[in-house]
Amino acid sequence: MEETDREAVATAVQRVAGMLQRPDQLDKVEQYRRREARKKASVEARLKAAIQSQLDGVRTGLSQLHNALGDVKDIQRSLGDVSKDWRQSINTIENLKDVKDAVVQHSQLAAAVENLKNIFSVPEIVQEAHGLIEQAELLQAHRKLMDLECSRDDLMYEQYRMDVKNTHDMNLIRSYFGEVQNLSEELAKQLWMVLQRSLLTVRRDPTMVVSVVRIIEREEKIDRRMLDRNKQTGFIPPGRPKKWKEKMFEVLERTVSTRIEGSQSDTRESDKMWLVRLLEITRKYVQDDLIVIKNLMIQCFPPNYDILNKFFTLYHKALSVRIEELASEDLEANEIVSLLTWVLNTYKSAEMMGHPELTTEMDVNSMGPLLPKEVVDQLLSKYIQIFTSNITGWLRKALETDKKDWKKDTEPEADQDGYYQTTLPAIVFQMFEQNLQVAAQIDEIFKQEVLRLCLKQMTSFLIRYREEAIAYKEDHMRDRQHPQCYVQYMIAIINNCQTFKESISSLKKKYSKTEFNENDAAINSTLDSVAKDGCVYLLDEVFMDLEQHLNELMTKKWLTGSNAVDTICVTIEDYFNDFAKIKKPYNKEMTFEAHRRVVIEYIKAVMQKRIAFKNPDERKEGAERMIKEAEQFKFLFRKLSAGLGEDTDRLCDTIVALAEVFKLTDPTLLYLEVSTLVSKYPDIREDHVLALLAMRGDASREMKQTIIETLNQNKPLSTVNVQPVFRDIVVPTMTVTKLLK
């Protein structure tokens, strides 16, 4: 209390100090005092009221405690009286034991009297029930069975109540009603038989199915009643609980499994399409069955059975087991695809579980996968292995067939545009197309995997294709008379490369969303390599025929009027009648390469120093002949390059430039002319210049030396954009000293 007082005083001091901080506040002291007095009075009034309320509550509580104490004493006296009366009545209860036994016996006799009619008529009722079962009157037969079971169970229950240990009488009752159990089993067999045929029965006579369901419902109610009594008394009649509802679903499950297994084909060994037929039969059976269940069967069962969902589950489970069995067998590649397509696509499609009549009642997507993912992955992996092996064999066989065609004496077929071709690209890409179409039926990821595998196999195949083309050329070179259509088939090989490119591009657009990748680049590179090799082989063929005429160039015979260039032009044009059947862009490359090789061979003839001009007239005549022949080449290749956009003049201008060196009449200007030539063709070498001067025939040793030294000092920079001409031209081995001489 002292501590509280001190705190109150300290608080008051702080409040007063807060109120009287300025002189003008002294005028309001009286006002402050009255306000604090009012607050104090209000607090005291509330405190008094609270204390008074507490006191009233305590007073009431004490009064209630006094009343409770009185009630407890009254109860104590009453319990004492009850205990006294109970002790006095024990003897009376023991004296009533005979009455109790009499009551139990009376109850037993009453049950016997009540069931007396059934007791005396058991054999007749059993016989009637058997007859009703045979006549398919199942409800009436079950009614009689229920009456017999009720009589038996009541008698056994009363016997159980009277004397649990009296097994003799209990066995007597069980033996007397022994046929009842057999009757129950016979009726159950009939019920299960109806359920096994329910899909057919419900179409003809749905009332039969309804009767079976009603019987099962009755038995379920009896089972529940007997189990409740068992909890209270410990008594359970023989054969209970029957659990016929549980057995009904077991029978339906076996029926569905038998239905699925019964659709399998017996012609597997002789029928390659056995799996397709089996899956189609299964699809039709399942769809028809579920539609019948949805339209007819569902009306025969109570709503709480959710029978449509139950049947969906049963069919899904049975199909899953059956499909797993099929997946574990040694299936071929096409069979694996058929199975996976059916499982992943057909199963949930509108053709089966997703049928419009079924989706209104069931969500197809709520069902789990028909095959576990690991089984699907195993099948896909197995298919890839088989497909890899098969496609390797197919490609090898296709190439072997194509190779046989190369040796024919008849020209290859031409496409609608007149380009030679063989059937190889069509065969290869027909195989790819068929397998990709099949893979697309499964899913997008698998389709991409098959496409990747096809392109990978294509890479290996093209390497073999190139090797076979090389071998084809080498065989021809050993005997150029065979095969007769070597040129035409080599053109077809070149065209096949372009067809392969176009087909690959078409496949990529149709079956892939990915852009151009490294694998595509490798394939295109290999195809270009095969095609360019083929072009080279064809040009080799041409230039082998031209070899004799090329050797006449820059000789005395040539100078005196040889028609070698005329023959060369005619021969090339003749060959290019066939080469015109080469597809773009290889025909353009072929023309350019032929043009380049002709010019290079011509320049090689110049560099080989087959002739040395003896006087200005010969130089003039030779130069003019070179210019004329350059124009012939220009005319020829303009004609061959028509529509290809090829510049045919620049290469031939090299011959003209060389002719200008020979045509020059003033030897003092020779250095200037040579310098002009070198500036135009930066790849020209020292030995080339010396060979030209040697063929000109009038350059002294000192002049040659001066020209070479000056050119070496003022060597022009090579131009990147200029196509090299002299780089590949080799001058016959000869020392510089000898050349200078």
360 and 434 fall within a common domain? no
Res 636 pLDDT > 70: yes
How far apart CA 559 and CA 556 sit, in angstroms, is: 5
Adjacent-strand bridge partners of 420: 414
Contact 625, 559 (CB under 8 A): yes
138/203 Cα distance (integer angstroms): 19
What is the pLDDT confidence band of residue 731, given thresholds at 50, 70 and 90?
confident
Helix (H, G, I), strand (E, B) or coil at 414: strand
Query: Residues near 711 by Cβ (< 8 Å), separated by ≥ 6?
Result: 674, 675, 678, 686, 689
Answer yes or no: do 176 and 276 share one domain.
no
Q: Using CA atoms, how far apart are residues 301 and 217, in angstroms rounded to an integer?
A: 10
List, for residues 644-673, the tens digit of each pLDDT value.
Answer: 555 667 888 889 988 888 888 887 788 888
* CA gap 554, 570 in Å, rounded: 19
Task: Return the exposure string of 604-633: e unless at least 16 CB atoms fall within 10 Å of the residue's CB, then b.
Answer: bbbbbbbbebeeeebbbbbbebbbebbeeb
Is residue 669 located within the same domain as residue 579? yes
Listed residues 325, 341, 371: the one ending a domain: 371
Rounded CA-CA distance 312/324 in Å is: 18
Enumerate the H helices of 580-648 as residue ranges. Answer: 586-607, 616-640
Query: What CA–CA distance (Å, rounded) separates 435 from 415?
Result: 25
The two three-digit tokens of residue 204, written as one number: 């003809």
Residue 513's CATH number: 1.10.357.50
| Tens digits of residue pLDDT in 483-517 | 888 888 899 999 998 988 888 888 888 887 766 56
547 domain residue, yes or no: no
Contact (Cβ atoms closer than 8 angstroms) between residue 422 and residue 490: no
Same domain assignment for residues 581 and 650:
yes
Residue 516 and residue 494: Cα distance in Å, rounded?
23
pLDDT digits (tens, 9 = 90+) for 520-531: 788 888 888 889
- The CA-CA-CA angle for residues 91, 96, 102, to 5°, reads 165
- pLDDT digit string, tens, across residues 398-425: 989 988 888 888 888 888 888 888 888 8
Spatial contact of 657 and 680, defined as CB atoms under 8 Å apart: yes
**Contact partners, residue 634, CB within 8 Å, separation at least 6:** 648, 649, 652
Q: Does the pLDDT at position 107 exceed 70? A: no
> Distance of CA 316 to CAs 313, 360, 368, 369, 709, Å?
5, 18, 9, 9, 95
Provide the pLDDT for residue 126: 79
Whether residue 544 lies inside any domain: the answer is no
Q: Is the dihedral of CA 481, 483, 485, 491 positive or negative?
A: negative
Q: Which of 511, 528, 545 is the last residue of a domain?
A: 528
Q: Do residues 353 and 326 share a domain?
A: yes
State the average pLDDT for the chain: 83
Provide mean pLDDT across the span 320-347: 85
Calculate the alpha carbon distances from 323 to 249, 266, 275, 425 in Å. 22, 17, 11, 38
Band of the pLDDT at 570, cuts 50, 70, 90? very high
Closest CA to 436 of 419, 453, 420: 453
Three-state secondary structure string covering 269-286 = CCCCCHHHHHHHHHHHHH
User: Are 625 and 572 in contact, with CB atoms under 8 Å apart?
Assistant: no
The pLDDT assigned to 464 comes to: 92
> Which residue range is the domain that position 276 belongs to?
254-371
DSSP bridge pairs for 414: 420
Of the given ranges (266-275, 286-295, 444-453, 637-646), which has the lowest mean pLDDT?
266-275
What are the structure tokens assigned to 692, written together? 């030209």
Residue 194 located in a structural domain: yes
The answer on 179 and 260 residing in a single domain is no
Q: Find the mean pLDDT for residues 420-443.
A: 86
Q: Is residue 195 predicted with pLDDT exceeding 70? A: yes
Q: What band does 568 get if pLDDT is binned at 50, 70 and 90?
A: very high
Q: Are 115 and 169 in contact (CB under 8 A)?
A: no
- Residues 6+ away with beta carbon under 8 Å from 397: none
pLDDT at 221 over 80: yes
The whole-angstrom separation of Cα 423 and Cα 417 is: 16
Q: Tell me the pTM.
A: 0.64
Closest CA to 703 of 715, 714, 692: 692
In this predicted structure, which of 28-32, 94-98, 694-698, 722-726 has the lowest mean pLDDT?
A: 94-98
Q: Is the peptide bond before 732 cis (omega within 30 degrees of 0)?
A: no
493 and 419 fall within a common domain:
yes
Residue, of 267 and 246, whose pLDDT is higher? 246
* Percent share of the chain, pLDDT over 70: 89
Residue 625 lies in a domain: yes
- Looking at the structure, do residues 590 and 712 belong to the same domain, yes or no? yes
pLDDT band at 288 (very low <50, low <70, confident <90, very high): confident
Q: Write the pLDDT tens digit of every residue in 597-611.
A: 999 999 999 888 788
**Residue 598 and residue 648: Cα distance in Å, rounded?**
12
Sequence letter at residue 179: E
Task: From 306, 145, 292, 288, select the one nearest 206 (Cα to Cα).
Answer: 292
Which CATH number do you get for residue 607?
A: 1.10.357.70
Q: How many CB atoms lie within 10 A of CB 21?
A: 7
Structure tokens belonging to residue 195? 């359920």
**CA pair distance 517, 513, nearest whole angstrom:** 12
Domain stops at, among 330, 347, 371: 371
Q: Does 93 fall in a domain? A: no
DSSP code per residue over 47-114: HHHHHHHHHHHHHHHHHHHHHHHHHHHHHHHHHHHHHHHHHHHHHHHHHTHHHHHHHHHHHHHHHHHH
Query: Which sign does the torsion angle of CA 675, 676, 678, 679 carry?
Result: positive
Residue pair 691/727 in contact (Cβ under 8 Å)? The answer is no
Cα gap 516→129, rounded to integer Å: 81
Contact 727, 683 (CB under 8 A): yes
Does 657 fall in a domain? Answer: yes
Select from 688, 496, 666 the least CA-distant residue to 607.
688
Q: Are residues 415 and 354 in the same domain?
A: no
Give the pair of three-digit tokens for residue 58.
């305590």
- The CA distances from residue 338 to 278, 390, 391, 436, 437, in Å, are 11, 17, 18, 14, 12
Q: How many domains does the chain have?
A: 5
Of 234-238, 374-378, 452-456, 720-724, which range is least confident? 720-724
Structure tokens at 124: 């007749």
- pLDDT in the model for residue 709: 82
| CB-CB contact of 293 with 315 (8 Å) | no
Of 415, 454, 448, the C-alpha closest to 431 is 454
Q: Within this chain, do residues 474 and 616 fall inside the same structural domain, yes or no?
A: no
Residues, the chain, total?
741
From the list 259, 246, 245, the residue with the least C-alpha distance to 293 is 259
Percent of the chain residues past pLDDT 90, beyond the cut: 6
Residues 405 and 302 in one domain: no
Q: Is the pLDDT of residue 130 over 70?
A: yes
Residue 266 has pLDDT above 80, yes or no: no
- The amino acid sitting at 89 is S
Residue-level pLDDT at 719: 52
Residues in CB range of 240: below 8 A, 6 or more apart = 222, 223, 226, 227
pLDDT of residue 569: 92
Q: Is the pLDDT of residue 97 over 70?
A: no
CA distance 689 to 679: 12
- Cβ atoms < 10 Å from Cβ of 83: 10
Q: For the residues 26-47, what does the mean pLDDT come to?
A: 84
- Residue 390 and residue 420 in one domain: yes
What is the dihedral sign for C-alpha 275, 277, 279, 281?
negative
pLDDT bin (cut points 50, 70, 90) of residue 588 is confident
Residue range 215-232: average pLDDT?
89
Helix (H, G, I), strand (E, B) or coil at 464: helix
Q: Which residues contact 426 (CB under 8 A, 6 or more apart)?
A: none
